[in-house]
Amino acid sequence: MFGSPSLARLAPLLLLPAIGLLLPGYLPQYYLYLGNVIMMYAVLAIGLDLLLGWAGQFAFAHIAFFGIGVYGTALLQIKLKLPFILAMPGAALLAGLIGLLIAIPATRLRAVYLALATFAFAEGAQWVFNAWESMTNGADGLRIPAPSLFGHVMGNDPAAFPLVATLLALVLAATMYLTTSKLGRALCAVRESEHAAAASGVDVRGTKVIAFAISAVYAGIAGGMFTLYESFANPEVFGFAQIVLVLSMIVVGGLGSVPGVLIGTVLLGVLPTVMRTTMRDLLVWQELVYGVILILAMMFMPRGIWGFIRRKRRAVRT
């Protein structure tokens, strides 16, 4: 529903930073790592969902903006000696700016042409991460400096956990405001019917460009979150497999819904660990498991797990 997010929906977000501060005292490191990864993916997936699920634009440049976020945050600290608190927003804005530049020509394209063009951009970006050795250290990978915030040094999982959780809470709050606004409506209108949108006074192309840029900023923020707990980045992280994983999270959870994307992110974020402990020698088949999950989700829950739950709830009520 549109309007303004209610306090009842915003208040639970305050739990995230609180949990973020508490859990590192109780959980083993590995679970904190898993938590960091899932929270980072949640931001990445919600950002892609704004463009794909909300605005209905099948664009795949997202992983490139994630890369710009990671390298940008790290390099602004290394080369310009900026503190993390400036480096991360700087990198996110840079991702947004490049997203805006890409969007201006890309939004002239539709459907499969848009998918191909943005996929080509992502491949190109990965090539740049590989080739620009003086900046990224190429295929050998870049050591990410441990960021510090007001004297609190991060770079490992327990230390990063509270800030990663806080960033996720901020992004979720921003997303609630965005999606319940007139821009949220405009995104849906563009997705559902460009003709109805334009005739209703929605600037179709402008809305797509804005969605593109905002989505890129989200990816940039996710990149910054990555640098909080990872100490190493190499171009392989920003490859095709990643985009498939993020896409699966959205599709399995439910396109165009924040709770759905969160469900999908947790499920597919935990899955690799579950498979590692249960499949043992069969682990070589894990790609197949992803594929089967994606196909089953599309066959039986075309609107994802969240869409399925909502339909059941509606059926119960009536």
Partner 1 sequence: MTAPFFSLDNVSVRFGGLLALQRFSMEVAKGSIHALIGPNGAGKSTVFNCVSRFYTPSEGDIAFEGRSLLGVPAHRVAGLGIARTFQNIELCRSLTVIENVLIGMAPRVRGYFPFTPGFRRAAVERQAVAEAEALLERTGLAALRDVPAEALDFGHQKKLDLARALASKPRLLLLDEPAAGLRNREIAALDALLVGLAREQGITIVLVEHVMRLVMAVADRITVLNFGQKIAEGAAAEVRADPNVIEAYLGQGSHA
Among 11, 199, 284, 316, binds partner 1 (CB under 8 A): 199
For partner 1, the closer CB: 43 or 63: 43
202 in contact with partner 1 (CB under 8 A): yes
Of the candidate spans 26-34, 194-202, 223-231, 265-273, the one that interacts with partner 1 by CB under 8 A turns out to be 194-202
Number of H helices, E strands in the chain: 15, 4
29 in contact with partner 1 (CB under 8 A): no
CB 291 within 8 A of CB 64: no
CB 13 within 8 A of CB 172: yes
Q: State residue 152 phi and psi, 5-degree precision.
A: -90, 110
Q: Which value, in Å, is the radius of gyration of the alpha carbons in the chain?
A: 19
Minimum Å gap between C-beta 306 and partner 1 is: 13
The Cβ of residue 196 has, within 10 Å, a number of other Cβ atoms equal to 11
In 79-156, alpha helices (H): 84-106, 111-131, 133-136
315 in contact with partner 1 (CB under 8 A): no
Residue window 41-70: x/- pattern of binding to partner 1, with contact defined by CB under 8 A: ------------------------------
Among 203, 236, 274, 292, binds partner 1 (CB under 8 A): 203
How far apart CA 81 and CA 79 sit, in angstroms, is 6
Of the candidate spans 58-66, 114-122, 203-211, 261-269, the one that interacts with partner 1 by CB under 8 A turns out to be 203-211
For partner 1, the closer CB: 6 or 29: 6
285 in contact with partner 1 (CB under 8 A): no
CB 152 within 8 A of CB 159: yes
192 in contact with partner 1 (CB under 8 A): yes
The bridge status of strand 152-153 relative to strand 232-233 is unpaired
309 in contact with partner 1 (CB under 8 A): no
Of the candidate spans 88-96, 147-155, 171-179, 277-285, the one that interacts with partner 1 by CB under 8 A turns out to be 171-179
Q: Locate 185 and state its tokens.
A: 């409506």
Residues in Cβ contact with 247 at an 8 Å cutoff, skipping those fewer than 6 apart: 48, 52, 60
317 in contact with partner 1 (CB under 8 A): no
- Name 233's bridge partners: 142
Binding region for partner 1 (CB under 8 A): 1-4, 174, 177-178, 180-186, 188-189, 191-193, 195-204, 206
